[in-house]
Amino acid sequence: MSSIPATTEPVDVDRRSRTDARHDALFRLLLKACALLVLAALLGAALSTLWGGREVLFGHGLHFLASDAWNPVTDDYGALAPIFGTLVTSLIALVLAVPTSFGIALFLTEIAPAWLRGPVATAIELLASIPSIIYGMWGLFVFVPFMSRIEPALNDTLGRIPLVGKLFQGPPIGLGLLTAGIVLAVMILPFICSVMREVFRTVPTRLKESSYALGSTTWEVVWDIVLPYTRSAVIGGIFLGLGRALGETMAVTFVLGNSYNITSSLLMPGTSISSSIANEFNEAVGTHRSALIALGFLLFVVTFVVLLIARLMLRRLARREGN
């Protein structure tokens, strides 16, 4: 609508229309400034963390990225352990949340009777509005004790399998990478599920009905028709969930156990970028603080790239749909 000018009579320009034009220009400027604030916020977040972490990022350089030491006493900082924890917990979360979200989306679009869809979808989306600190509390006081009861059984069953077994051998303390990954999975599930549900509904009914007419089962329609049709948006939704998982702080801080470890066992405590920052920032001074802000910069860059991919994938489907 922006092309329609407010003043249309160039010959008879009276004072009123000139004032209106001036107000319009001012208004447009004000709006543009507000919109540019969104850009400023993202750019500012990147630059300010780069600036705050400059001492470690530029002073220690590659050592910061490649070392697994984290010693505030000798001011020796390496980001490897937090990066490892962030990646492993997010990966566990994805492995658990993607099939579950797919199952829920499938249930809500193809299986459930119409009266059940609304309430169940609302309930699943409520999972997304529960504050992360509540996930953290529930995780620490309820889920960690629960896991510590289950972990001996994991040791005895999955832990016996050659190769993969190492992942599930460890002390049954409840805290650790696996527990954090599961809590994260519950948190990101509604985000992935809501994207999947939304894009599954964009599949033309004609396509699905043609497949049913050829004798396909519901599962074959979903697996061979719906999923290939919505592939890029589904991947986008998964990356959106990954972006959430990477940056999540409060839910993992309580259950991760907070130790700078790189271990082969998922039952061992670890740390993550966000939980290191949350735990140590207010006691940190000097180089230590700079190292934590530098960690924040790394986290921002990684999540930015992941979310960029997510949005590009999601946009591709929107374009094909013609919106």
Partner 1 sequence: MAAVHTRRRVVNVVALTLSGCATLLGLVFLAWILWVTLKNGLGAIDWKLFSKITAYADQGGLSNAIVGSLVMDAIALLICAPVGVLAGAFLAEYAHRSKLGATIRFLNDILLSAPSIVLGLFVYVIVVLPMSNLTHGAVSFSGLAGSIALALIGLPVIVRTTDEMLQLVPGTLREAALSLGIPQWKMTVQVLMRAATSGIVTGVLLALARLAGETAPLLFTAFGNNFMAWHPLDKMESLPVAIYQYTNDPNPALHAIAWAGALLITLFVLTLSLLTRLLFSRKKVPHE
Residues between 232 and 261 that touch partner 1 (CB under 8 A): 240, 243-244, 246-250, 254
- In the DSSP assignment, the letter for residue 13 is -
Q: Which of 69, 142, 164, 318 binds partner 1 (CB under 8 A)?
A: 142
State the residue for tokens 């160039």. Answer: 10
CB 240 within 8 A of CB 310: yes
Residues between 151 and 180 that touch partner 1 (CB under 8 A): none
Residues between 97 and 136 that touch partner 1 (CB under 8 A): 99-104, 106-108, 111-112, 120, 122-136
Q: Which stretch binds partner 1 (CB under 8 A): 59-67, 150-158, 167-175, 270-278?
A: 270-278
Least distance between partner 1 and beta carbon 142 (Å): 5
Least distance between partner 1 and beta carbon 163 (Å): 26
Nearer to partner 1, 264 or 323 (CB): 323
Residues between 81 and 100 that touch partner 1 (CB under 8 A): 99-100
Q: Among candidates 92, 78, 67, which has minimal Cα distance to 248?
A: 92
* Rounded Cα gap, residues 179 and 258, in angstroms: 13
Residues between 2 and 21 that touch partner 1 (CB under 8 A): 2, 4, 6, 20-21
Least distance between partner 1 and beta carbon 21 (Å): 8
Q: Is 176 helix (H, G, I), strand (E, B) or coil?
A: coil
Least distance between partner 1 and beta carbon 234 (Å): 15
Least distance between partner 1 and beta carbon 263 (Å): 24
CA distances from 28 to 22, 34, 38, 233 (A): 10, 10, 16, 34
Nearer to partner 1, 51 or 210 (CB): 51
Q: Which of 65, 80, 91, 137 binds partner 1 (CB under 8 A)?
A: 137
What residues contact residue 106 under an 8 Å CB cut-off, 6+ apart?
200, 222
Nearer to partner 1, 149 or 160 (CB): 149
Alpha helices in the chain (DSSP H): 15-52, 54-59, 62-66, 80-106, 114-129, 132-138, 144-156, 177-200, 205-213, 218-221, 227-229, 231-247, 250-255, 273-280, 286-321
H or E stretch at 284: none
- In the DSSP assignment, the letter for residue 225 is I
Residues between 20 and 79 that touch partner 1 (CB under 8 A): 20-21, 23-24, 26-28, 30-32, 34-39, 41-42, 44-45, 48-49, 51-52
What is the secondary structure of 63-109 as a DSSP string?
Answer: HHHH---EETTTTEE--HHHHHHHHHHHHHHHHHHHHHHHHHHHIII
Residues between 189 and 228 that touch partner 1 (CB under 8 A): 189-191, 193-194, 217-220, 222-223
CB 179 within 8 A of CB 143: yes
Distance of CA 265 to the CA centre of its chain: 24
Least distance between partner 1 and beta carbon 76 (Å): 22
* 280 lines the binding site for partner 1 (CB under 8 A): no
Least distance between partner 1 and beta carbon 162 (Å): 27
